[in-house]
Structure 1
């Protein structure tokens, strides 16, 4: 399945200034910061897969348009993996919220927390 090219460009812009590598993964286009996946853009309305802090997982699941990510039907990816619906990413501030969340988690991992 092809990824959403417009959303990928928005994510690319939001991550500009960082060491980012793009890799085809999970049926979409994954964004790797310092060789760790922070987000993946898919197509077909799946929109954005994000990797966030497990300690804030429940909080993030309460955000409209967020749901537990699944790897195949009914197979949860577990805490810290969230899928964000396309409609919930309409504005740049909506996307920036999730980019900030993934970068906060990335910083925690880098600090060894």
Structure 2
């Protein structure tokens, strides 16, 4: 599956200054990891965000979100944000910041 390279570049612009960030192709898309823990990723035109189990319901109440259900089993702590909800840089910033903060709170892998 191809992924939106433009969205990936927008994410790189936001995370590029952090030396703990690495990229890895996963799930047919591109994942951004903080010290080995996935923070955000791009699948197709959409953004996946690791928000953590405690923030899942709040994240899902926001426009353009849905449960991350890649394997047929919903994954609590992860959401997918539709491309249509990411047109504004401010919206993308908020999601990337949230995913990055959660991943950074985890012990390095």
- For normalisation by structure 2, the TM-score amounts to 0.89
* 2:93 is the alignment partner of 1:96: yes
Within 5 Å, give how 1:62-81 maps onto structure 2: 62-72=61-71, 75-81=72-78
1: CA distance, partners of 2:36 / 2:90? 25
Aligned residue pairs total: 107
Calculate the aligned-residue CA RMSD, in Å.
Answer: 1.6
Q: 1:76, CA displacement in angstroms?
A: 3.0
Structure 1 contact 68–76 (Cα < 8 Å) conserved = no
**2:80 aligned partner:** 83
* 2:60 alignment counterpart: 61
Q: How does 1:1-113 map to 2 (within 5 A)?
A: 1-18=1-18, 19-43=20-44, 45=45, 47-72=46-71, 75-110=72-107
Q: Gaps (5+ residues) in structure 1?
A: none
Structure 1 length-normalised TM: 0.87
Q: What are the ranges of 5 or more consecutive residues in structure 2 without an aligned counterpart?
A: none
CA distance in 1, matches of 2:51, 2:105: 10
Higher RCO, 1 vs 2 (CA within 8 Å, ≥6 residues apart): 2
